[in-house]
Amino acid sequence: MPLYLDDPKKFRPLVGQAHQVAMNMLRPISRKYDRAEHAYPQELDMLAAMIDGLSESGANEGAGAAGVRRDESEDAGDAGGARNGANLASVMSIAEMCWGDVGLLLSMPRQGLGNSAIASVANDEQLARFDGVWAGMAITEPGTGSDSANITTTAVLDGDEYVINGEKIYVTSGDRADAIVVWATLDRSLGRAAIKSFVVPKGTPGMRVDRLEHKLGIRASDTATIIFEDCRVPRENLLGSPEIDTKQGFAGAMATFDNTRPLVAAMAVGCARAALDLTRELLEQAGVTVDHDRPGIVQSAAAAKFLQLEADLEGARLLMMKAAWLADNRRPNSLEASMAKAKAGRVGSDVTLSCVELAGTLGYSEAELLEKWSRDSKILDIFEGTQQIQQLIVARRVLGLSSSELR
């Protein structure tokens, strides 16, 4: 049965509020923190406090970091209708926030990728213990890029503590966060099945930020290299089960991506939508009208290109919503999460760069934010798994092949 998606009415107030925040709080300081790389956006503290207040009141479904949990027997789809929950609300609100600024969204306290990992993998005791913690996530290593199964950072149990050794790079919010969720292997000889995630609080002896990266885009977001040298963390900081299940592989840790990939797709959708909205205004000022009631072939080249970009973005938006909707309804969404990430990442870069081209000198200059959005969008096609990795995952799912059968 085909799945038709529209914006749920109950989330429209949340989306409207997110758009107002993006327009009135994020957009005005976007250029300021693009130029002041590594400076912490103090303006976000008030916004984070507002979101925390909504979370405590229960009035903000989707405004905070959500998780995809596989340990619940509830199947909303079989229990009396579809459920529109926190995952769908999150992608919709994040898309609006990134209409304002991607880097500032990534800098939001207590909304880090590590928070999604905790929400997805932690047990009930850990969820309570780490409530309110701002968590970054450390996966990538100097010799390990998109293939997370090749992680070499180790975690060795010594009494009641794990001793972590290794180096992590490109850690979003690595310097600002209260804690880092670190992916490490318990036993290299057992391959991916032994990879687990650990919560390491900031200031833990043996963990240090080595440097902050200078980047093409998302400059408001700090991106760190972190070194772990005999870093000891309590054994109860291992998220989820410490058991190594060779049959399951590291599906528990990878469940995090089922949640975060639609979120990254939402970031790309929001950034691209910002570029299209501004480009439409600039085209109209130049006398170019985009007519949705006429075929592109009978309109100007600029109008035809604009229509094509809008269509591509709508495809990405629908894939993003479907991946989130499936998660809300406790249905497997690994395939759809990768499809959404792959489509939105590619389309986001294509749309923002095309808008720079359509706007000519205005697009390339700092007079407008188009050039910034083209720089910001590129990372959304890279982190959380590159375009090529997503296509590989999709092929494996569609063909029913394992990672060893299709590399």
Task: Please identify every residue annotated as catalytic.
Answer: 384
- CA-based nearest residue to 240, from 366, 119, 146: 119
Backbone angles phi, psi at 195, to 5 degrees: -80, 125
Which distant-in-sequence residues (6+ apart) come within 8 Å of 159 by Cβ? none
SS3 state at 170: strand
Q: Computed from CA positions of residues 321, 116, 246, 394, in that sequence, does the dihedral angle turn out positive or negative?
A: positive
Contact 244/192 with Cβ under 8 angstroms?
no
Look at residues 360, 353, 342 and name the one whose alpha carbon lies nearest to residue 376.
353
Q: How far is CA 31 from CA 26, 34, 273, in A?
A: 10, 5, 18
| Separation CA 185–CA 163 (nearest Å) | 11
> By C-alpha distance, which of 38, 92, 74 is closest to 325?
92
> How far is residue 269's CA from residue 283's CA, in Å, rounded to a whole number?
21
CB 106 within 8 A of CB 173: yes
**Kind and range of the H or E run holding 231:** strand 223-234
Q: Hey, is 378 helix, strand or coil? A: helix
CA angle 111, 251, 398 (to 5 degrees): 105
Q: Which residues lie below 8 Å from residue 89, measured CB to CB, with a gap of 6+?
A: 8, 11, 14, 61, 62, 63
